[in-house]
Amino acid sequence: MKRLSIKNRMVLWYAFSILAIIVLTMALLLAVGDSLILDETEKNLMSLTDRAVRDVRITNGELSIDEDITYYNDGAYVVVCREDGTVISGLLAEGFPPLSDFAENEIRKIPGEGRDYYTYDRLIENQKTGKIWVRGITSAELNDMAPSVMKMLKGFLTALPVLLIIALAGGWMIARQAFAPLSKIIDTAEKIRQSGDLSGRIGLGDIEDSDEVRRTAAVFDEMLDQIESNFENEKRFTNNASHELRTPVAVIKAQSEYALDNLDDPEEIRESLTEIKKQADSMSSLIAQLLRLSRADRGIEQLKKETADISILAEESASRHLHFAGTRNITIRTDAEEGCYMECDEVFIGRMFDNLIDNAIKYGKAGGTVHVSVRKDAADIAVKVADDGIGIPKEDLGHIWERFYRGAARTAAESDGEETRSMGLGLSMVQWIVREHGGTIDVVSEPGQGTEFRIKFPTE
């Protein structure tokens, strides 16, 4: 059997709950009302009977009844009779059984013809007249005791189906409105699954100004934005990695074929093997950086932090690049304040300086200067690496942190030779290292004027 949808189950539950509340409320009102009505009926019966007793007298053995005696009041009757049930005076309710079985000062329920009655007996006893009973009688049926209540009950029973229909209709409309966004979420997800197009969105509202379901749809849209962005980044990353690996592989293949064609020339073989090793080193470096970035993305790359003076790390990195700088006639100036201590991973901070200084030399002006600065104040440690080279065009500044990205100007600068060729991964790694240490990084650059990277690390 097909299972009911959540919407239908909600509608049924809503209608059942409303109906149950109405019925229980009515039952409670009837129970309380019945008790109050019975109490009032008994009081009226006793009051009428007691007044009648005061109007019945026995004087000198003679029974007399006042002319103004009240035999009927508000549905209650009074009858004066003898012990054997003979009626002396008064009125009997229609359908009341023969008078008998008297019980003084006691309210009892007696079955009659088609209905029940309440009775209340008072005894007047005299030696000459014998026992005289004054009996009060009233109907025990709710319809007789409180006809307005019975009308209300009948009206309620008549209106109950209408109330149930209204409850069902209201519940269905509320559930339909509440679940409409979910239907759109399902349709959107199904379209994305079938087409593979991640650009589809639900578009029902924003997170701040919506109900819970619409906020869910907004969060779902944001998740799709993130998934699409990650997918595009992954696709671009794969394409770029393939492109970067294709060049050294092609060179290795060509040099291997060239060496095989010149087996009798040791010098040619040596040159080929040297180029093969160079390309293999480039591939190894690329793969190592890709592995580091992949591990960083997955949160596997763990930092081993300890207190270190990053001024020393900056000076050591500058020293490692003196030879490379010398090949381009570039001077490295280091202005590192002593005692710039912070909790850091020395290996990764060293790699940060290496990447920034290496970039500054590659794209610096021949005969120019690379300036490395480390300064500390009360709030943070400021690091700057600046060059006076080709700079970065404004349109490229927003993309320099992307993996494998190289602007047109920098690609042209690399045409001088493979020695200065960049794989476009260094700044991505620098950005990750800075963030993992709780710092911030930005860049200021003007084409033809140089580039300055500015980093700030918190001291606490």
pLDDT > 70: what percent of the chain?
Answer: 82
Residue 195 clears pLDDT 90, i.e. is over it: no
Same domain (yes/no): 340, 284 = no
Same domain (yes/no): 393, 256 = no
Same domain (yes/no): 273, 386 = no
Residue 336 clears pLDDT 60, i.e. is over it: yes
Taking each helix axis from N to C terminus, what angle separates 426-436 and 266-297, rounded to the nearest 10 degrees? Answer: 30
CA distances from 427 to 137, 199, 285, 430 (A): 104, 29, 15, 5
Number of compact structural domains in the chain:
3
Over the stretch 261-284, which tens digit does the pLDDT of each residue have? 888 888 888 888 888 887 787 677
Most distant CA pair in the chain, distance: 166
Same domain (yes/no): 273, 333 = no
> Domain with 334 in it: what CATH number?
3.30.565.10
Same domain (yes/no): 308, 450 = yes
Over the stretch 10-45, which tens digit does the pLDDT of each residue have? 777 777 777 787 778 777 776 776 677 778 888 888
Same domain (yes/no): 279, 366 = no
pLDDT computed for residue 418 by the predictor: 42
- Asked if the structure places residue 283 within a domain, the reply is yes
Write the single-letter amino acid at 244.
Answer: E
- Asked if the structure places residue 161 within a domain, the reply is no
> Domain with 249 in it: what CATH number?
1.10.287.130
Contacts of 310 (CB under 8 A, 6+ apart): 340, 341, 342, 344, 349, 374, 381, 383, 457
Which residue among 295, 330, 345 closes a domain?
295
Same domain (yes/no): 45, 107 = yes
Q: Which residue has better confidence, 207 or 325?
A: 325
What is the value of pTM for the model shown?
0.49
- Asked if the structure places residue 200 within a domain, the reply is no
The stretch 1-15 carries a mean pLDDT of: 69
State how far Cα 33 lies from the chain centre.
47
- Asked if the structure places residue 164 within a domain, the reply is no
Same domain (yes/no): 255, 309 = no
Same domain (yes/no): 58, 124 = yes
Most confident of 23-27, 96-100, 221-225, 270-274: 270-274
Most confident of 94-98, 124-128, 360-364, 376-380: 360-364
Same domain (yes/no): 129, 219 = no
Same domain (yes/no): 287, 325 = no
Which residue among 295, 323, 346 closes a domain?
295
- Asked if the structure places residue 187 within a domain, the reply is no
**What is the chain's Cα-based Rg?**
51
Write the single-letter amino acid at 387.
Answer: D
Domain that holds residue 110: 19-148
Same domain (yes/no): 328, 291 = no
pLDDT computed for residue 148 by the predictor: 65
Which residue among 273, 295, 317 closes a domain?
295
